[in-house]
Structure 1
Amino acid sequence: MSFLRTYPRATARLRMAALVAVPVLAFSVACGGGDDSVGGATKDDAIADVPDAPAASTASTAKGETEPSTRPTGRSAFYDAQMKFVQCMRAKGGYKDFPDPKLSGYLDWTKISEIGSRPGRNDGIKAGKNNVCVPEMQAAMSVEPERDQQKAYESMLAHAQCMRDNGVSKFTNPTMSGGNAVPGGDPNPGSPSIDPESPSYKQAREACKTKLLDIVDGMQ
């Protein structure tokens, strides 16, 4: 499985695909946003907002690393596996500021994207320097709960519509393929027409972030 990811020009192509992707999903989906020219996709009916689960709080250790300040109630084997990956990223992967997973077990891609977009911080953000945390990454993937593909699709559809409503007119809808939700985004990932670093895209992304469920956060 490929877990490569590029910052900042394709910040959402492979976010969740790096650690918790559905195997059949395409990993090169664009998450565009800067070119706001008219001529985008057809808008669909709005879907209700679906807020993310709250992230676990953090505290600093004596070594300056961050760990959960409390053991969150209701955590799962998936959460525990993701936490082991996070701890690997902090201790071995070269990212002491790598964020805790959300209580749902899924990674916080908003925070990870911000870290990876800093100068010199992209190399290793996927699975640590020299891919040292690949075993922990794969262990987390192996215990990820089964996704509700219909809910995933509806969440991404609501997000795509919101992005267009907020000025990113070319942002395309997700599709269903073989029973799996495939993210939308840039209409031509191979030759992006949307700039995810533009102010207009960032504003739209912020406005629409609550549309994405944890299970699809970072996928478009």
Structure 2
Amino acid sequence: MREKGITNFPDPNAQGKLDLNGNELNSNSAQYKAADDACKPLLPQGGAPPPNAAAVGAAQVKYAKCMRENGVPKFPDPNPDGGIDINGDTLGVDPMGPVFKAADQKCQPILAEVAGGPRIEKRP
């Protein structure tokens, strides 16, 4: 944005978010709009809003069910934080093995329904 003439555009904060002060940035100016259009492709998902949490949660539940139906019978449902915790000791199959990988490949289209898909955390 600064390279496109918005010299007072801030750096992201410690959490990686932008704190935009409308009093300091004239987001209605032609220069700002042109810079925003030029830089939007650099944003995650091209600046599109994040997926609806309910849609992500529903896709995660469908994904977990699909995994169970395709050879990973102990695949867990999403946790309350929205992630899927995979513990290789209790999963019943090797998360790096062919059965898990085949199920994951078959079930991936479910996650394509929403941008980002689930956070899957593999634990040894």
TM-score (norm 2): 0.52
Letter in 2 for 1:146: P
- 1:174 deviation in Å? 1.1
**Distance in 2 (alpha carbons) for counterparts of 1:206 and 1:146:** 24
Higher RCO by CA contacts (8 Å cutoff, separation 6 or greater): 1
**Distance in 1 (alpha carbons) for counterparts of 2:101 and 2:118:** 14
Alignment partner of 1:81 is 2:42:
yes
Segments of structure 1 that go 5 or more residues without pairing to the other structure are 1-22, 24-75, 86-104, 106-139
Please say if residues 167 and 200 of structure 1, whose CA atoms lie closer than 8 Å, have aligned partners that are also in contact. Answer: yes
Q: Corresponding residue for 2:101? A: 202
Please say if residues 160 and 185 of structure 1, whose CA atoms lie closer than 8 Å, have aligned partners that are also in contact. Answer: no
- 1:209 deviation in Å? 0.9
- 1:217 deviation in Å? 2.9
**Distance in 1 (alpha carbons) for counterparts of 2:64 and 2:107:** 9
Identity over the aligned pairs, expressed in percent? 24
Deviations 1:115-149 (A, max 9, x none): xxxxxxxxxxxxxxxxxxxxxxxxx7xx4623310
Q: How large is the Cα RMSD of the aligned pairs?
A: 3.2
Q: Which of the numbers 75, 78, 94 marks the counterpart of 1:174? A: 78
- Larger CA Rg, structure 1 vs 2: 2
TM-score (norm 1): 0.31
Count the aligned residue pairs: 81
- 1:173 deviation in Å? 0.5
**Distance in 1 (alpha carbons) for counterparts of 2:118 and 2:39:** 22
Segments of structure 2 that go 5 or more residues without pairing to the other structure are 1-15, 17-37
**Distance in 1 (alpha carbons) for counterparts of 2:85 and 2:110:** 14
Letter in 2 for 1:201: F
Residues 199 and 146 of structure 1: is their aligned pair in 2 closer, same or farther, counting only changes over 3 Å? closer
Alignment partner of 1:219 is 2:123:
no
**Distance in 1 (alpha carbons) for counterparts of 2:39 and 2:101:** 34
Alignment partner of 1:183 is 2:87:
no
Which residues in structure 2 correspond to 1:59-208 (within 5 Å)? 80-82=41-43, 105=45, 143=47, 145-177=49-81, 182-186=82-86, 188=87, 192-193=88-89, 194=91, 195-208=94-107
Indicate the SS of the match to 1:184.
Answer: strand
Letter in 2 for 1:217: G
- 1:170 deviation in Å? 1.8
Higher helix share: 2
Deviations 1:57-81 (A, max 9, x none): xxxxxxxxxxxxxxxxxxx965x11
